[in-house]
Amino acid sequence: GENVEQHPSTLSVQEGDSAVIKCTYSDSASNYFPWYKQELGKGPQLIIDIRSNVGEKKDQRIAVTLNKTAKHFSLHITETQPEDSAVYFCAAPQAGTALIFGKGTTLSVSS
């Protein structure tokens, strides 16, 4: 089945800096790579996703890049703000049925 590795487990940045979180996956057939943000006491919410027919996708301060050859994808957050502090998860689909998640990255943005 699919295996997703996520790094780093914790990340601390100053407000205005950029943050990068990286994930690798094992199943070369996977073609959908979402990123979720989880705030305290809530369920995860999708913030951006990418499909394998593109290499990069941007949405305001958030971008995701995908390298299918190397089987890794990354989340980039620019101009970080305190409200970006949360736990971020990457994921990939297991045999096209359910999502397998990385272990998460706790991002702390200090002002």
Partner 1 sequence: NAGVTQTPKFQVLKTGQSMTLQCAQDMNHEYMSWYRQDPGMGLRLIHYSVGAGITDQGEVPNGYNVSRSTTEDFPLRLLSAAPSQTSVYFCASSPPRGPILNTEAFFGQGTRLTVV
Q: Which is nearer to partner 1, 17 or 58 (CB)?
A: 58
Q: Which is nearer to partner 1, 42 or 69 (CB)?
A: 42
Among 21, 66, 80, 93, binds partner 1 (CB under 8 A): 93
29 C-beta neighbours (distance < 10 Å), count: 10
CA separation for the pair 63, 28 (Å, rounded): 22
CA separation for the pair 38, 29 (Å, rounded): 27
Among 37, 73, 80, 102, binds partner 1 (CB under 8 A): 102
Applying the rule CB under 8 A, the residues between 43 and 62 that interact with partner 1 are 43-46, 49, 51
Q: Which is nearer to partner 1, 1 or 111 (CB)?
A: 1
Longest dimension (CA), the chain: 42
108 interacts with partner 1 by CB under 8 A? no
Query: Dihedral of CA 91/50/29/6: which sign?
Result: negative
The radius of gyration of the chain's CA atoms, rounded to the nearest angstrom, is 13
Applying the rule CB under 8 A, the residues between 2 and 41 that interact with partner 1 are 6, 9, 31-32, 34
Among 18, 39, 79, 98, binds partner 1 (CB under 8 A): 98
